[in-house]
Structure 1
Amino acid sequence: MLSGLLLCALALFSALTHAHHVLGRPSYSLNEDSNTPPSMAIETQIGEYFITYMVFPAFPKPNEPGRVNIYATRIDNGEMLDQTITFTVRDDTFWGESIGIGDGAKPEVIGQQNIDDGVYRQGFLFKSRGSYIIRAYFEDNGEPYEIDFPLQVGAASPVGPIGAAVGFIFFLLLMINIVQRKRIARTKIQQGQTV
């Protein structure tokens, strides 16, 4: 009887230890400030470095703090990058980049960070929703490294530049059609009066 109770208790405790896998969200993808995984976790190779970056929280909102984490190690020997990284941000707008209207292409420095426990952490707080590009910049052996990644703060606009262009073309074709119909109707009326 005692061995049966001991066996049941052992089975119960072993089932509880695997509960974090049942939830479908491993704890290593979480952040100390957020109970959600990052909105993006991207790994890439840039020059001599293997870069991993993450954005927290998963869905940044206006007037709520967020953070970017960057891990950088050398490809050849796995040594961590140990120098200052400068973080800048700019609007990711079609009009600002393409034709230079407004300050969309003008970057703003949001901070310079040193390595902290193998990670570069840069906080951010955006007042309004929109699309932004965050850039991490550093130099190694006189060679510049720039890492750009997109950030959507708040809900995305339902109509982007392509949607606006399609809407404008549709409106233009509709106006041309209306003008042509009026011209044809006017011509028919004038022809009917001269006969």
Structure 2
Amino acid sequence: MKNFKKTTGRLSLLMLALLFSANALAHHVLGRPAYSLNEDSNTPPSMQVETQIGKYFVTYMIFPAFPKPGEKGRVNIYASRIDNGETLSVPVTFLVRNNGWLEDDAEETLGTQDVYDGVYRQGFVFKQEGGYVITAKFDVEGEPYVIDFPLQIGESRSMLPIGIALGSIVLILVGVNILQRKRLLRDKIRDTRNAS
């Protein structure tokens, strides 16, 4: 009986230790502290999309995982033919424009890159937070190809318009509710006076 109590106590302590150790939160990715990550780190991209455009299978990635204003970032594009797997070898031009409902459509050229080891790499640095659209353009055999993909720099503010709309709807509903209650109360008082 004594050994059973000892064993049960030890197992209970072990289970508690395992339970509490499972809640430890990591502040790093791939064994490296998060504050030392940059566009050259082997960290996961913030976005990885695989798509088919025309005769090509295209994969693009954006590094680092969470780009911030003033920090270096990079876009990688892999493109190969669907029919024979041949890697795209023509230069790719990268453009950027603001992304938003009320933004202008003015594009700026980030650069034109040649393929290196089957990958097109374009670096970027954005000074301001916000949403952007990066466009990759190339021509093959006289046929133009255009790929647009979003890029968020810093914290997203995309909930602001939705929040304003929902807040306005709630305020209108509350206002109508208050007016209806006042009208019903007035009608009730009027009916009570008329009845007496």
Is TM (by shorter chain) over 0.5? yes
Identity, % of aligned positions = 58
**TM-score, normalising length from structure 2?**
0.68
Distance 1:42 1:120 in 2: 15
One-letter code of the match for 2:46? S
> Residues 126-175 of structure 1: CA distance to partner in whole angstroms, max 9, x if unpaired?
12222222111112222221112222211223724333322221122222
Aligned to 2:80: 73
- Paired residue type of 2:41: S
Describe the superposition over 1:79-126 as per-residue Cα deviations: whole angstroms up to 9, x where unpaired. 221222121222222xx2xxxx341x4333222222223211111111
Whole-angstrom CA distance in 1 between matches of 2:79 and 2:193:
82
Q: Which residue of 1 is the match for residue 94 of structure 2?
A: 87
Report Cα offsets for 1:49-74 as digits up to 9, x if no partner: 11111111111111111000111111
The aligned residue for residue 177 of structure 1 is 177
Residue matched to 1:20: none
Q: 1:102 to 1:70 in 2, by over 3 A?
A: closer
Given that 2:96 and 2:110 are in contact with CA atoms closer than 8 Å, whether structure 1 keeps it comes out as: yes
CA RMSD of superposed structures (Å): 2.9
* Structure 2 residues without counterparts, runs of 5 or longer: 1-28, 31-36
Write the distance in 2 (CA, Å) between the matches of 1:109 and 1:187.
68
**Once the two structures are superposed, what CA deviation does each residue of 1:14-61 show, in whole Å capped at 9, x if it has no partner?**
xxxxxxxxxx95xxxx99711422222222221111111111111111
Alpha carbons of 1:193 and 1:89: their partners in 2 closer, same or farther (altered >3 Å)?
farther
What residue in structure 1 maps to residue 53 of structure 2? 46
| SS of the residue 2:169 aligns to | helix
CA contact (8 A) 2:53 2:145 kept: yes
